[in-house]
Amino acid sequence: EAQVTQNPRYLITVTGKKLTVTCSQNMNHEYMSWYRQDPGLGLRQIYYSMNVEVTDKGDVPEGYKVSRKEKRNFPLILESPSPNQTSLYFCASSLSFLGGPTEAFFGQGTRLTVV
């Protein structure tokens, strides 16, 4: 089954404790990205990657890091989480990003709470 898998689904952590949210896709997609979704603000892109070892900032990259060492994986790293990073996070992937669908597949989401 074609899917994007995020882990964990729910996470409560404390300020300053480094964490990683994993994202893996099994569709051989080149394009992957991370979003956060906040009430009243909609979906905002954090980082995206057009292929292995190629990443770039989205609209709200501050406080986040990513890496793309393999085509299937695109982890999101919060080196020192703060309460304002409490949000619902989505990973997404797409086979085509020029003239084709945007993020055709989203992961299930990770609800992060930083206290």
Partner 1 sequence: QKEVEQNSGPLSVPEGAIASLNCTYSDRGSQSFFWYRQYSGKSPELIMFIYSNGDKEDGRFTAQLNKASQYVSLLIRDSQPSDSATYLCAVKTPGGSYIPTFGRGTSLIVHP
Rounded (5°) CA angle 63-6-1: 150
| Residue closer to partner 1 (CB basis): 31 or 64 | 31
CB of 63 to partner 1, least distance (A): 18
Amino acid (one-letter) located at 87? S
CB of 101 to partner 1, least distance (A): 5
Identified binder of partner 1 from the candidate list 42, 62, 69, 115, rule CB under 8 A: 42
- Per rule CB under 8 A, is residue 41 in the interface with partner 1? yes
Identified binder of partner 1 from the candidate list 8, 12, 17, 56, rule CB under 8 A: 56
**Maximum separation of any 2 CA atoms in the chain, in Å:** 42
Q: Tell me, by CB under 8 A, how many residues bind partner 1.
A: 25
- Per rule CB under 8 A, is residue 53 in the interface with partner 1? no
Distance CA 33, CA 55 (A): 9
Please list, in sequence order, all residues whose beta carbon lies within 8 angstroms of the beta carbon of residue 52, skipping any fewer than 6 positions away: 68, 69, 70, 71
CB of 68 to partner 1, least distance (A): 14
Do 115 and 83 form a contact (C-beta atoms < 8 A)? yes
